[in-house]
Structure 1
Amino acid sequence: MATSKQPVTVPTDASVDDFLAAVPDQRRGADAVRLCTLLREVTGEPPVMWGPSIVGFGSYRYTYQSGRTGDWPLAGFSPRKQQLVVYLVGGFEERHASVLARLGPHKTGKGCLYLKRLDDVDESALRELVDRTVRVHKGVDRASERRQ
């Protein structure tokens, strides 16, 4: 009998404060608390745990070209062992290259921004990236609403 696989990354009732307090690296934990405040301010949404390790803010519905749909946070982050991972709109590297140039030390992946230390980045540039991501996901930006 085939079973339908349920998504793991969905909103949960787990405590964001407890999750952030349990981050083993003290500096990364402090950065995570600051990042949580920043994302809350920019999105206007409360933090919610998505699955076991992502703090998300708000949500939007996406549809892949295949027709598969799902929900994902407007913006989110996860305090990983080696860095903070900020989840942004796919393709932000090309769309917002000038903002990334101001950001400071970072790496990027498909829809992910990797930061070693929050103190090393330009907070106004980070706020702008998050704001632009939220605008795309809400459909108020020219970029595609489709999750990439």
Structure 2
Amino acid sequence: MKAVVQRVKRSSVTIDGKVVGEIGQGLMVLLGVSEDDTERECDYLADKIAGLRIFEDDAGKMNRSLLDIQGEMLIVSQFTLCADCRKGRRPSFVRAARPEKAIPLYERFIAQIQAQGIRTATGEFGADMLVSIENDGPVTIPLDTDEIMPKGNGSHLK
């Protein structure tokens, strides 16, 4: 599972001229689900992002999480994060999960964030969306569970 996390002052998603999701201060998360992702990757990534200490404390250091500042999260599904550009100039999306797998994991990710008490807004899976991002900092952090998630049985997550 891949995510691009951006610290924002505000962010919104518009579909067909109508704003369908918007937040104030918080995190804009573009989320890509790969064919080999499971609930384990989903839960790990949701917990990781909610706890990322990328908001400034009183001393100006990035020491506070979204939970600490009681911020909001806008979550937008983006299969293009799973692009493979190793060959040629046209990206391949064969590693991106098909909707029947991606939608349940996308919805689970949203539910995991909401379960932590974070106000969320979303785009619409598969829709053509106009995403407005007022990046704060700017702070942008790419995350890939293939790179950041410990291998093993997951017992360390409990």
With CA pairs under 8 Å and 6+ residues apart, which has the higher RCO, 1 or 2? 2
| Larger proportion of helix | 1
